[in-house]
Structure 1
Amino acid sequence: MGLFVDIHKDLGAFQLDVSFETDSGQLTGLLGASGCGKSMTLRCIAGIEKPDRGRIVLDGRVLFDSGQRINLPPQKRRVGYLFQNYALFPHMTVAQNIAVGVRDKKARQETVARLARTLYLEGQEGKYPRQLSGGQQQRVALARILASEPEVLLLDEPFSALDSYLKWQVELELADLLASFSGPVLFVTHNRDEVQRLCRQVCVLDQGKSQAVMPVKELFEAPRTLSACLLSGCKNISRAKPTPDGKVEALDWRVTLNPMGPLPEGLSHIGVRAHYIRPVDGPGPNRLPCRVERVVENVFSTVVMLSTPGGDQGFSRLRMELEKGRWPELAGRDPLWLELPAGDLLLLTKDG
């Protein structure tokens, strides 16, 4: 079972252009900043919103095709959509909320009991949503979705309504449940840590435009675009341009670097993660003199903010993260020479 999405929707000042494909049993993250079109993409797949053109196909079954004028209503799409606020009916009990999703009326009681047991809701069937914790509300919403026997699950920021101390437990429970779901799952979030823990592959959305689906490992180890690199959490990024001899001039840091491997066509930026930067004794390849601007002691690490030959503002600065206890031996060096290892440099383009 697979899900194919290739749609366009004109929202005035905002254009949604999304194209990706995911297979059965695959948990795919849709990662992007707020307002990039993640939730709108899910609403189009679910049939709540209608794209202006394109195609949506689920396991060979066409849900939407502008060319053939096919647009199945939400109730015929077999799509399970978990909203951010769970959208439970406040005047219904847990059992009644779950029962709403059951298609076979004869099996309603049996299905409600089975899902209540599966999602650890036994003993809660007679309670109303206001009497439940955030985690319990999410499980009720998921039980209602599973009761309808969906062929694909759409999860829209499923942890955003939870207090921070609840998120970890609920995330573990949800991961266990999703492992047994046979269809594709789309997981919308702006949180890269959730993507890393839960998803096998990820599609980055940037200002309404989707980029190529990639393994989650690639997003964190070798992002190819500026937006993907920023979303992966990289703090050190400079505008860049290639030099005639195959090197890269980092314009904001004012240093020429010799990266490993060929330069991508359309190179526009270069990045390096804070924990890969190495303090060194003096000049050499891929090294630059810096001045310490600020030292922040975290529980397990030390973060050092540094000015570069390019300045001490914005992208001109570098952020280095060291193991706890390493800073005292380096303090007082002026300048502090740093090496940006060739194999750890991220070569980035603006577009997917």
Structure 2
Amino acid sequence: MADAPREGKLARCPNFIQLIDMASESVGGKILFATDDFFAPAENLIKSDSPRFKEHEYTEFGKWMDGWETRRKRMPGHDWCVIKLGIQGVIRGFDVDISHFTGDYAPRISIQAAHLEGDEGAQMPQRGERTGTAATPQELAAVAELKSNDWDYLVPMTELEPGKPASGHNYFLVNSHQRWTHIRLNIFPDGGIARLRVYGIGQRDWTATDPKEPLDLVAIAFGGACVGFSNAHFGHPNKMIGPLRPPLFQLSASESHTFDSLTLELQDVITHARLTISPDGGVGRLRLRGFPSSICLLRPREQPIMRFSVKTGFRSNL
């Protein structure tokens, strides 16, 4: 069994929640396995929206809950699930959200992680509709190949605090610089979790990229991150470099604007970019398309190789 780390639980809302949720279904996160999905399936853990509560809605298995909920354990052991991250990279923190699970949330959790190469973990059976079911012998045999019980601990066994019924966030700081691809969430011994957010910064293998195709070098999924700003009253700048499209507002205010680089200096390797808006207002997305440094230095310098794309996506405040 891997050693437990020194990372700890945070009492206040941390800065890492401004990063991307690497496990979200919206970026390709996927539930590979769960020991039990009797009351509600584990797929709910990685929904991109906030958990909801429907007071008078029931299923044939009990109260409808927007999360993952297992039945009470009547044998030794505990429930757990395995998640394949949609964006692989460095994890900065977790949010284990037990909103609306006031009396049946999981009392304790731990979280493990692994970096699996190639197609490891790709042979798991398709899950399909899971409510009212438990893991089959075939699924148990397949998940055993991952040896997830020996994965590294990013969060040791810790008690969860319920908080308010509609806001049951439990934050955990992670101090790891490794690149992770899979997560194992353990609940002790059973119960419900509404959402699991895995916040971090993506890492990409740039050596496998096409040298003829410019890439979005600032994308948070590839390792980009905002390191400073003058004002973030209505939204953090990290959202500009996220993978999702911004919501549509005014017609003209939702146009994309593309600019080629104007100076030869931008054909050298750059590490930082500064976006200035005058005097204020909003920008939906920022894309900086170019080439990684190992490719950039080998390309001819006749034409600009950096292209900026800005999508406003918000009403101008001029």
Per the normalisation by structure 1, the TM-score is 0.27
Q: Which has the higher contact order (CA 8 A, sep 6+)?
A: 2
Larger radius of gyration: 1
Q: Per residue, is there more strand in 1 or in 2?
A: 1
Q: Per residue, is there more helix in 1 or in 2?
A: 1
